[in-house]
Amino acid sequence: MKPTRQGQIVKFHTPLPGENPNQLYVVTELKINGTRDRADIQALGTGLPFPGINTVLLSDLEVVEVETADLLGHEVTVHKQDSSEATGKVISAKDSKIFLDLTKGENGVETNVWLTVVDAAGSQHSGSLVVK
């Protein structure tokens, strides 16, 4: 599936020789003109404080599913349905794989990942992952 909006996680469907075929990127901007549609992408997990942004052809990219099991046991913040937030260790995720969407919010980056966390007092909270 070709990316359709900012914040989607993508990879190259046919990487060049020597490139990591599993490298993931986030779409920071779409540039649609009808003939040579392009996207600005930024590499994820590079360890760099400010990874560069590259412009590539949209047709070279595909949206990928991300495994949520990697979040188990990590301390995160979730945005609950009542608009409050809770921080705790992830004990479960609604979906095992998800097409991750990122949206810039008031208090960080909102995601479509639905998690259940346990806070320091032992209470469980469910909500969408917020990256601060």
Q: Which residue has the tokens 């549609």?
A: 37
Query: Which residues, in sequence order, are CB contacts of 107 under 8 Å at separation 6+?
Result: 85, 130, 132
Inside any domain, residue 73: yes
Tell me if 91 is assigned to some domain.
Answer: yes
Residue 1's pLDDT is 87
Question: pLDDT per position in the chain (132 positions), as tens?
Answer: 899 999 999 999 998 898 899 999 999 999 998 889 999 999 988 888 889 999 999 999 999 998 999 899 999 999 999 989 999 999 999 999 999 888 888 878 899 999 999 999 999 999 999 988
**pLDDT for res 113:** 95
Q: Which helix (H) or strand (E) holds 12?
A: strand 9-12
Same domain for 78 and 57: no
58 and 73 share one domain: no
Q: Is position 3 within any domain?
A: no
- The Cβ-side half-sphere exposure at 18, using a 13 Å CA radius, reads 0
Sign, Cα dihedral of 24, 44, 115, 6:
negative
Q: Are 87 and 75 in contact (CB under 8 A)?
A: yes
User: DSSP 3-state assignment of 60?
Assistant: helix
Q: What range defines the domain where residue 30 resides?
A: 9-63
- pTM for this one? 0.77
Structural domains counted in the chain = 2
